[in-house]
Amino acid sequence: MENEKKLIFSGIQPTGTFTLGNYIGAVRNWAPLQEEYNCIYSIVDLHAITVTQDPATLRKHSMEAYALLLACGIDPKRSIAFFQSHNPSHAELSWVLSCATQFGELSRMTQFKDKSAKHADNINAGLFTYPVLMAADILAYNADLVPIGADQKQHLELARNIAQRFNQRYGDFFTVPDGYIPKLGARVMSLQNPTKKMSKSDENPNACILILDDKDTIVRKFKRAVTDSEACVRYAEGKDGINNLITIYSSMTGKTVEEIEREFDGKGYGDFKLAVGEAVADALEPIRTEYAKLMGDKAYLKECYTEGAERARRITQRTLSKVYRKVGFVDAR
């Protein structure tokens, strides 16, 4: 990797096909960032097992997620694209960092509260320490910037606090990372309950667009999207459903909110929903095509992720040995 450029790290869980929320809030921004930065993107499979996973399904979803990452424009030669479990440094650093993280801090994480309410039968220790592993992902590479959606902001804040605490205790070492959160689309909402974020774990399949959904499915889901009774396409408080659709349409077409309001002046929600559905389906079409091609060449995918993990390990082994030295472990060699 070229040294003078700043470094980006981000990750996504392989818990199913990426949603339109994952795409607009995060993954879509990852490819263009390759122009200006050294980028490292990971399929974070260690994070995925904090909720119960069927092993065969997790393996399948992980391969699919890797192919999707490349289909979304991540160049595995220029950037590093790998599976988190292929680099043991993440889990190792996570242990050290967990000893610099307070129980109280982790208890305040809203995602932990939400997920433990949702999976009351499996509130495992990994679910609780999940944000420490995320901090390790980022700090192991001394990343400068972390492109994420708004729901990961609190976790990033914690990573910053852990880095600062470590630096205070052991001397300046970790880069304190900044978030890179898009102005538009940082929180794409459910199509069925627009006060809730769009999530692949939503039980209602109409609530969520998957980026591999075909055009008919996408258009149908948008047609069924919950709106309001005003029948006027304008961005305003209390119009959560329409605001969400305007945001999605704007981020797909590049049109401003004012342009969109003008475009649909005097038209009904039916026309608007159809336009949003078509814009999304057309924008995602090339990804579907590329994905199908990549899934047909497993040998190529394997070559990419194997090489990605090797390059990732080379970076983090150096970080880890410096960290071990700083905390006072005896040199292994």
Question: With binding defined as CB under 6 A, does residue 37 bind ligand TYM?
Answer: no
Is position 200 annotated as part of the catalytic site? yes
CB of 282 to ligand TYM, least distance (A): 20
Residues 153-182 touching ligand TYM, rule: CB under 6 A, are 155
How many angstroms separate the CA atoms of 95 and 129, rounded? 10
Q: Which residue stretch of 142-150, 269-277, 303-311, 323-331 sits at the interface with ligand TYM (rule: CB under 6 A)?
A: 142-150
Which of 230, 255, 254 has the alpha carbon at shortest distance from 240? 230
Question: With binding defined as CB under 6 A, does residue 191 bind ligand TYM?
Answer: no
Is position 118 annotated as part of the catalytic site? no
Question: With binding defined as CB under 6 A, does residue 151 bind ligand TYM?
Answer: yes
Beta strand 178-180 pairing with 80-83? unpaired
CB of 293 to ligand TYM, least distance (A): 23
Q: What is the DSSP letter of 331?
A: P
Q: Where are the beta strands (DSSP E) in the chain?
A: 7-12, 38-43, 80-83, 145-147, 178-180
Question: With binding defined as CB under 6 A, does residue 192 bind ligand TYM?
Answer: no
Question: With binding defined as CB under 6 A, does residue 246 bind ligand TYM?
Answer: no
Question: With binding defined as CB under 6 A, does residue 187 bind ligand TYM?
Answer: yes
How many angstroms separate the CA atoms of 218 and 225, rounded? 11
Cβ contact 135:106 at 8 Å: no
Question: With binding defined as CB under 6 A, does residue 309 bind ligand TYM?
Answer: no
How many angstroms separate the CA atoms of 139 and 316, rounded? 9
Is position 115 annotated as part of the catalytic site? yes
Q: Which residue is nearest to ligand TYM (CB)?
A: 25
Q: Which residue in the list 6, 153, 200, 326 is annotated as catalytic? A: 200
Cβ contact 199:19 at 8 Å: yes
CB of 330 to ligand TYM, least distance (A): 30
Question: With binding defined as CB under 6 A, does residue 11 bind ligand TYM?
Answer: yes
How many angstroms separate the CA atoms of 293 and 160, rounded? 39
